[in-house]
A and B are shown apart, each in its own frame.
Chain A
């Protein structure tokens, strides 16, 4: 596997524009991003946030990096992911779900219909049927990692990746290096 070329070293003072999204994930990766704690203040000198659940920007503009948490479990996830792929020079699959579907992919063992029946019909109070309003996006039959839907440039595993790992990855990219995780930063759990 050949790693994609790192971003060209940014000219001094140009901050990287970073979009983030959480698809079929638990928000844990975004929380780990916030786990950078006081380093967040320093990071504001390196990056500027575009579309993100942490901002009120709902759709991305042209970005340097898209950090995407969560796998793909419905048509809307596909839409958001493709939008980010078009907008961003570099897409990073952030965390286990984005990398391999994560625990939500455990539903892939079973038929989607079977699961929906379990959750919405076979309940103590009988259940009232499976939600089916047109406002709800269509579910995909399986949960997919990002790279099965769009081209992904970098993968940052972990459930979630630690704040140290995210910080190392982003600063490597911002400073023009190919991101690399030392053993202590590489975890799948």
Chain B
């Protein structure tokens, strides 16, 4: 009897997986790039941003939440799917206030790097220019909701790793936003500490350790080294270092 091989095929590449792994986990472990934004290997999958959407046996699914199963034919890097990813990113850019030229996260920002990867040249849609809050009340951590993309990584990190639940999501639809669990709603009145995972997990420039600013020079930032599809820290390195 032939054993069924634990392999999925992604864009024609045979990718082995461990039972229980998601398609995204299997792909990244094999060094195969699937763009993703709200996913972080240290936290429970969330499946909200939809950037990692792939087509599995003809149907759409989030690679970060879908279990890898033998026999799956996965399409990811096709022009159509990349086009959809670009549209998702364009919507994220107009929904917040993402001004890369003045942002200290620039060069280290996952949202920006994904936009480069998707060859996004324009936000395309009309901007919302929302009026959001900047909270400097915490001595060591800055909260700039202009740049929040609601990936909820801070919510997950604070709850599941730090055990503090400093952040939560409130409101629905267009009013959906990150709130801070303190009587005043200010970050300075929580027990968030600079060492907490939640203070460092933000993939964009919404939650930032204070007074770091532009201390990393241009050229030495994470995504100065190459496109995110090659240098993502989530991507397993192959033996030749690539």
Contacts and interface: CB of A to CB of B under 8 A. Distances in A.
A and B touch in their complex, CB below 8 angstroms: yes
Interface of A: 1, 93, 96, 99-103, 105-106, 108-110, 142, 145, 147-148, 152, 154-157, 159, 180-181, 183, 186-189
Interface stretch (B28-36, B114-122, B170-178, B189-197): B114-122
Q: Interface range on chain B: under 10, 10 to 19, 20 to 34, or 35 or more?
A: 20 to 34
B210 interface: no
Given A100-B93, A189-B106, A106 B122 contact: no
Interface of B: 83, 86-87, 93, 97-103, 106-107, 112, 115-117, 119, 121-124, 126-127, 129, 131-132, 146, 226-227
4 closest Cβ pairs, A-B complex:
A159-B101, A188-B100, A155-B122, A108-B129
A149 to B, nearest CB: 11
Nearest to B99: A103
Given A103-B101, A103-B102, A105-B99, A157 B122 contact: yes
7 contacts: A100-B127, A103-B99, A106-B99, A109-B131, A183-B227, A188-B112, A189-B107
A165 B209 CA distance: 33
A109 B97 contact: yes
A106 B121 CA distance: 20
A99 B121 contact: yes
Contact of B129 (A96, A102, A109, A152): A109
Name, among A1, A103, A180, the residue most crowded by chain B CB atoms within 10 Å (CB to CB): A1
Nearest to A96: B101
SS of B interface (majority): loop
A110 B100 CA distance: 19
Nearest to B102: A103
B149 to A, nearest CB: 15
Contact of A145 (B86, B127, B146, B227): B127
Given A100-B93, A142-B129, A189 B116 contact: no
A114 to B, nearest CB: 12
B214 to A, nearest CB: 11
A179 to B, nearest CB: 9
A155 B97 contact: no
B100 A189 contact: yes
A96 B101 CA distance: 8
Contacts of B226: 183
Contact of B100 (A96, A106, A183): A96
A147 B122 CA distance: 9
Nearest to B98: A100
Contacts of A1: 83, 86-87, 124
A188 B129 contact: no
Nearest to A93: B122
Contact of B127 (A93, A101, A103, A183): A101
B109 to A, nearest CB: 9
A138 to B, nearest CB: 19
A156 B121 contact: yes
B83 A189 contact: no
Given A109-B97, A183-B116, 18 more contacts: A1-B124, A99-B122, A99-B123, A100-B98, A100-B123, A102-B101, A108-B129, A109-B146, A142-B129, A147-B124, A148-B126, A152-B122, A155-B122, A157-B121, A159-B100, A183-B117, A183-B227, A189-B103
A157 B98 CA distance: 13
A141 B172 CA distance: 28
Contacts of A159: 100-101
B99 A102 contact: yes
